[in-house]
Amino acid sequence: MKERSEVLEQDSWDLTPLYVSPERWEEEYQTCVGESNPFKKLLSYKNRLKEGPGICLECLELTMNIDRKLSKLHTYAHLKSDEDAAHPEHKTREGRAKMLYFEFQHAAAWIEPELLQLSDKAIETLLKDQKVAPYRFYLEKIFRLKAHTLSIEQEELLALSSKALQAPREIFSAYNNADISFDPIADGEGTEHPLSHGRYLLYMQSKDRVLRKNAFEGIHKQYQNFENTIAEALQGQVQTHLFRAKARRYPTCLEAALFPHRIDTKVYFSLLETVKEHIDVMHRYISFRKEYFKLDAVHGYDMHVSCAPEVELKFDFETAIDLVIDAVGVLGKEYQEILKQGLKEQRWVDRYENARKRTGAYSSGCYDSYPYILMNYQGTLSDVLTLAHEAGHSMHSFLSNRHQPYHYAQYTIFVAEVASTFNEELVFRALLKQLKSPQEKVFLINKKLDAIRATLFRQTLFAEFELKIHTLAEEGVPLTPSLFKTLYKELNALYYGPDFCHDDAIQYECFRIPHFYTNFYVYQYATGISAAQALVNKVLQDKNPAPYLKFLSSGSSHYSIDLLQQAGVDMLTKKPVALLIDEFKRLFQELQGYMQR
Ligand SMILES: [Zn+2]
């Protein structure tokens, strides 16, 4: 593998618009520490917000300016460090940037609680003040939490508890990332292979069923071995959610998680209901795979294998760029041109693997940088779709940064996966037109069906599990290992139907999912892909990308649900999810059509 120093300039991202050199970074860093430390000035506003809108405005603007400067410092530092994890200078720089951010968060931690202590009269005056108008929605979001905010002493106590309350997640993470180890596994010919989290998904796609089975069982064995410990961590995590919900006077854990972003719990419930109303299509899909692969039953390790495993599509990077740019043509010339420049001349992308480079892919940047993309491009179909995906994120960031002030530029998690999935869908459609052989079409459609299964159906299963365990905890039912396992097994039977094998290994999967330690998070994958699909349909049908482009330019200037509604998708109804399921049905039929030929 290439060393970082051997990577060609045209294959690497151009970080010079951020800082021309590490020395320039250092100069800017020095303006934030020591005598010139801007945090000191920020602290001078403490206990003064009640003096009126003028002071509040000064304080907010100073906070945003510092935040903006630090996020620029941090962006450069983390991008550099991701180029080569073992580079000592990069590592130190990233550590310093992180530390600075941490100090800032600490120095600014009093602002929201102090705003929330203002009297109703003072809040009203503040929100009506013209000078403060650019921050009105920002402030409204904070004040919305007033009913769930405690007295200063109680808030301090809560803040004091937060480190201790992280223990369940830290325990799971320590086990899952550090202590866990897997025995090597044998393939169909008896050759041994190392097993790890990273290799697991690769093995799941292998044509060798023995290898898949051994990988599946090998992974889950290590969760079974520690099931009491992990179940304790998971139930502890649920208890921390319950504690916070009760302390802040929310009726349920779900309500506590969704309220701050003004997401109606109806969004959550309607996702679960809609998927289950149509769950027979997933059962039929599983039955179809059982028949096609001539299996006794479809096991957990039979889900990721392609129905056209002999197809190998390869795309060089330039071809992938052209494919993505062509596919997003429906979004107009300007969108296309910005993306083209970004992917080509401006070099947003760090293209290929090199020694000790961060694995996977992401889009990352800040208000004052390009929206950079890290890839480990190998030329597979998945890589092309990943490029489309990250380019979607990057364009969302680019447009929101261009059109919004700093404090509204960053979009929320709830809408984060919309723009990325939107572009993936466009590239999928373009490829489906372009590829001619039935085998290639089968390969592509299979890929899409699997993506919908994994993102809509599976994440909804997770969401339902999460809701169930929280509801039981609210009712005072002790969450034991056997309760977790039984619930998880039942849900798998419900979602995957009679031809899915409900053997013992599958029930330990609930002890393997790190997202269960992030409060009511996974449902957003399912709602995100549904919203994206609905928006693609709408843009193509109306032949008008304007409302969608406006959404991409809106950052977090309104609540996510409202932004989507303005773009034409109502997540409070069942329609977007039902639409995606219809698409799944249609593609499933098309797949069967090609295979019967
Ligand atoms: Zn993404």
Catalytic residue among 94, 217, 390, 466: 390
CA distance 459 to 366: 29
192-235 tens-digit pLDDT: 999 988 889 889 999 999 999 999 999 999 999 999 999 999 99
**pLDDT confidence bin for 445, thresholds 50/70/90:** very high
User: How much distance in Å is there from the Cα of 68 to the middle of ligand 1?
Assistant: 23
389: CA distance to ligand 1 center in Å?
A: 6
- Stretch 512-523: mean pLDDT: 94
The pLDDT of residue 109 is 87
Angle at CA of residue 49, ends 47 and 53, nearest 5°: 165
Instruction: Enumerate residues 6+ apart whose C-beta is below 8 A from 425.
Output: 532, 533, 536
Q: Which residue has the tokens 């969004």?
A: 267
Residue 502, burial from CB neighbour count under 10 angstroms (0-12, 13-18, 19+):
middle
pLDDT of residue 151: 84
Measured distance CA(375)–CA(358) in Å, rounded: 9
Separation of CA 30 and ligand 1 centre (Å):
34
Separation of CA 383 and ligand 1 centre (Å): 13
- For the chain, give the mean pLDDT: 95
Per-residue CA distances from 24 to 16, 69, 73, 104 (Å): 10, 13, 10, 21
- In 157-274, DSSP assigns E strands to 185-186, 192-193
Answer whether residue 359 shows pLDDT above 90.
no
Residue 105 clears pLDDT 90, i.e. is over it: no
pLDDT tens digits along 401-439: 999 999 999 999 999 999 999 999 999 999 999 998 999
- Give the residue with greater pLDDT, 597 vs 35: 35
- pLDDT for the residue 36: 80
Residue 555 has pLDDT above 80, yes or no: yes
Among 201-205, 241-245, 580-584, which stretch is predicted with the lowest mean pLDDT?
Answer: 201-205
> Which ranges in 117-196 belong to alpha helices (H)?
120-128, 136-143, 152-165, 167-174
Q: Confidence class of residue 155 from pLDDT cuts 50, 70 and 90? A: confident
pLDDT at 597 over 80: no
Task: State yes or no: is 217 an active-site residue.
Answer: no
Whole-angstrom distance, CA of residue 235 vs CA of residue 256: 18
* Percent of the chain at pLDDT exceeding 70: 100
Give me ligand 1 centre to Cα 360, in Å: 11
pLDDT higher than 90, residue 472: yes
Share of the chain above pLDDT 90, in %: 89
Å from CA of 393 to ligand 1 middle? 7
Beta strands in 246-401 (DSSP E): 349-350, 362-364, 372-374
Q: How far is the CA of 175 from the centre of ligand 1 (A)?
A: 26
- Model confidence over 315-346: pLDDT tens digits? 999 999 999 999 999 999 999 999 999 999 99
Q: What is the CA radius of gyration of the chain?
A: 25
pLDDT of the residue at 468: 98
Task: Report d(CA 150, CA 153) in Å as an integer.
Answer: 8
Structure tokens given for 31:
């303006």
DSSP secondary structure of 192-205: EE---HHHHHHHHT
For residue 317, what pLDDT is reported? 98
pLDDT at res. 465: 98
Q: Which residues pair with 349 in a beta bridge?
A: 373
**CA 261 / ligand 1 centre spacing (Å):** 20
For residue 419, the CA-to-ligand 1 centroid distance in Å is: 9
- pLDDT (0 to 100) of residue 178: 84
> What does the CA dihedral 264, 267, 273, 274 come to, rounded to 10 degrees?
160
When pLDDT is averaged across residues 288-294 and rounded to a whole number, the result is 95
Ligand 1 center–CA 91 separation, angstroms: 25
